[in-house]
Structure 1
Amino acid sequence: MKLQPSAVGIVVADMAASLAFYRSLGLAVPDEPAPHVEVPFGALRLLLDTEETVASFDPSFTPPTGEGRVGLALECDSPADVDTAYERLVGEGYRGHLAPFDAVWGQRYASVLDPDGVGVDLFAASS
């Protein structure tokens, strides 16, 4: 049996706020919120489900709390693009988690948080 990666799922408290965030990242996000939204995410799909949707099929569901449960990473074209994307997102009111820095592993790196506290890392190979 072979299992293929297909999607990454995130449970969201406010679908409209989450769609706005992921749209700000440049993803092809639909305009209208729905209880379940699928977004192209490279070779995968990003699946966003409201807490109510998950509770409808999982009676034991408890909404997650805290940061760091899921992490997403988006590669930028250049180190300067990491800085630009971070500043734009923070300027739009999203929470910065790690301001851009030159990581010891040879990348320009930063991290922002989506409306539910999911970390989205921005990175590019250092020049």
Structure 2
Amino acid sequence: MSTPTPHFDVISLVVSDMSASLAFYRRLGLEFPEGAEQLPHVEAPLPGGLRFALDSEATVRSFHPDWQPPPSGGRAALAFVCADPAAVDATYEELVAAGYEGGMKPFDAFWGQRYATVLDPDGQGVDLFAPLPEAAVTDDD
């Protein structure tokens, strides 16, 4: 009898400030339960049945006492699709105006997207993107 194949289920981040992280990801449309700010582990449903989870540093250290945050920047990439290129700009500006750090201002990328990056409260890069109209995509960008 063979072991069943695992399936992808959760994207999880370890966060230093649960309230700050929840506020950031809620601004991007993720829905977390009421009172989640007081919890050590929270989840938001994602399309297709996946889940997005946040764990406090204390939670991770409860089962992995030697855990330390990475020295700088993560290796994971999170990206949120926006309705159109103007929505990339508007979302970026709204997040920066709310006090989050802009990682990369919106630009028209050569691969055919309006693209920007904002940093979450722990410095994790979160990309915002939308397809460009075909006329805006050239080899000269």
Bin of the TM-score, shorter chain as denominator length: over 0.9
Gaps (5+ residues) in structure 1?
Answer: none
Q: Do residues 117 (structure 1) and 123 (structure 2) align?
A: yes
The answer as to whether partners of 1:110 and 1:121 remain within 8 angstroms in 2 is yes
Normalization by structure 2: what TM-score?
Answer: 0.85
More strand by share: 1
Q: Do residues 67 (structure 1) and 68 (structure 2) align?
A: no
Aligned equivalents of 2:77, 2:46: Cα separation in 1: 14
1:7 pairs with one of 7, 10, 29 = 10
Deviation per CA, 1:10-65, whole angstroms, max 9, x where unpaired?
00000000000001111112332110000123232111000000000112312333
Q: How many residues align?
A: 127
Aligned equivalents of 2:85, 2:6: Cα separation in 1: 34
Q: CA RMSD in A?
A: 1.2
- SS of the equivalent of 2:54 reads strand
Q: Which has the higher contact order (CA 8 A, sep 6+)?
A: 1
Deviation per CA, 1:94-124, whole angstroms, max 9, x where unpaired?
1100100000000000010100011110001
- What are the within-5 Å matches in structure 2 for residues 1-127 of structure 1? 1-32=4-35, 33=37, 34-43=39-48, 44-127=50-133
Q: What fraction of aligned residue pairs are identical, expressed as a percent?
A: 55
Gaps (5+ residues) in structure 2?
Answer: 134-141
The answer as to whether partners of 1:101 and 1:108 remain within 8 angstroms in 2 is yes
1:91 deviates by 0.7
More helix by share: 2
The answer as to whether partners of 1:19 and 1:30 remain within 8 angstroms in 2 is no
Larger Rg: 2
Normalization by structure 1: what TM-score?
Answer: 0.94
